[in-house]
Amino acid sequence: MASQEIETLSAALARLPGLGPRSARRAVLWLVKRRETSLVQLVEALAAVQDTLVECETCGNVDTRNPCGICADHRRDQRQLCVVEDVADLWALDRAKLFTGLYHVLGGRLSALEGVRPEDLSIGALIERVAAGGIDEVVLAMNATLEGQTTAHYIAERLGDYPVRITQLAHGLPVGGELDYLDEGTLAQALRARRPVG
């Protein structure tokens, strides 16, 4: 029987996405055996992000500074804006290193079922960014789910009056596929073969 402290740690880890109670206990055991190296490192890394994590007021990314590293990077193409549902999607696309423009995180997707309306997402802020000018292309990189596609169509309509090219990821992606779970090659291909929203 493990101590209360170890049980508490296991329970906390078990709540992480992708981990269950069994994997959490294995992770704890693994950390305990590597107390001086991995455990200390993990504790320090957690403390560091706890103190510094902020949401970027421009794009909605999560980083240790505001504006985030992507928004502050002037080498990136300021004329291209890629719209994603969640920060995890932004990170997935950025890992693929094919998109060199800026991002906009919606903070979710429209959903009649879950009662998510346009005003619950950062769509207003997106329209403002586009209305401010200087953007040539908006890439809608929603997930290949019904709700993702509904969201993309809604945004395309709202942006219809602005002089920007609106494109969409080529979803040779599996239907229901979430960006975050795709390998980088598939993502890169979807981005390269993006097509106008019609």
* 56 belongs to the binding site for Zn ion (CB under 5 A): yes
DSSP, collapsed to helix, strand or coil, labels residue 42 as helix
Tokens representing 129? Answer: 């960014």
Q: Between 59 and 140, whose beta carbon lies closer to Zn ion?
A: 59
* 61 belongs to the binding site for Zn ion (CB under 5 A): yes
Q: Between 71 and 140, whose beta carbon lies closer to Zn ion?
A: 71
Cβ-count burial of 10 within 10 angstroms (0-12 exposed, 13-18 middle, 19+ buried)?
buried
DSSP, collapsed to helix, strand or coil, labels residue 56 as coil
Q: Between 39 and 125, whose beta carbon lies closer to Zn ion?
A: 125
The Cα–Cα gap between 1 and 188 comes to 48
Backbone angles phi, psi at 57, to 5 degrees: -75, -15
Pick the stretch among 52-60, 84-92, 141-149, 179-187 that binds Zn ion (CB under 5 A): 52-60
Q: Between 59 and 164, whose beta carbon lies closer to Zn ion?
A: 59
* 122 belongs to the binding site for Zn ion (CB under 5 A): no
Which residues lie near Zn ion (CB under 5 A)?
Answer: 56, 58-59, 61, 67-68, 71
